[in-house]
Structure 1
């Protein structure tokens, strides 16, 4: 499976509420940087983030998926429920770096849209 197909399969797991299925595609030392916000280091930190942020599966609309070498960039929109149960819409650009067929690093640019 190429990196683009791996990301598509991983994202499908998230939309089905299968966070553990998604995590199978991540390296143990995966690192997620949400630019201007925080950095998660390691699969366990990502698991804890997903348990709260993705308590209800997010809705994705991928507009572009661009693969080059070890990188896959996804551009699109995502809707998530906040702590109050209100749906919040975002535009995002995720830059994923792959290592040995797994997602090793994410640099995410996420902006709330009105």
Structure 2
């Protein structure tokens, strides 16, 4: 998978974590990603559904793991306090092109466990 980031994550541990989580999700490295999720993680896929708990979260990622990402492009990563956001694009092996924005809430300002994610995903073209 090709990875492009147009934003420098610099000296921010939470930005670096969100960059790495985006890569883990895009490569379906579910086991590694789960290490950063709270047990009661809540994932809201806007316009689709909400999932609660690591088991449901991992199952949802696994369900899509046959759709390979050819390129992940991160345009912006913003963090402040217990919150963060990632804006980017994914170009799939099948030619589909998605724009996404993920809004994260951490369990604490330390930012080592993700409490919730709200994902906005839009098909740009295929």
Ranges in structure 2 where 5+ consecutive residues have no aligned partner: 1-11
- Residue 35 of structure 2: aligned partner: 24
Q: Which stretch shifts more, 16-25 or 28-37?
A: 16-25
Contact in 1 for aligned 2:103/2:119 (Cα 8 Å): yes
Q: Which stretch shifts more, 52-61 or 16-25?
A: 52-61
| Residue 103 of structure 1 pairs with residue 111 of structure 2 | no
Contact in 1 for aligned 2:100/2:120 (Cα 8 Å): yes
- Residue 97 of structure 2: aligned partner: 89
How high is the TM-score relative to the length of structure 2? Answer: 0.76
Aligned residues: 110
- Give me the CA root mean square deviation: 1.9
- Residue 71 of structure 1: aligned partner: 83
How high is the TM-score relative to the length of structure 1? Answer: 0.84
Cα deviation, 1:43-99, whole Å, max 9, x if unaligned, reads 100111111112354342110001111111101102346xxxx34211111100011
C-alpha displacement of 1:35: 0.8
Contact in 2 for aligned 1:14/1:57 (Cα 8 Å): no
Distance in 2, matches of 1:23 and 1:79, equals 24
- Residue 47 of structure 2: aligned partner: 36
Distance in 1, matches of 2:78 and 2:62, equals 28
Ranges in structure 1 where 5+ consecutive residues have no aligned partner: none
Runs of 4+ in 1 over 6 A off after TM superposition: none
Distance in 2, matches of 1:5 and 1:77, equals 18
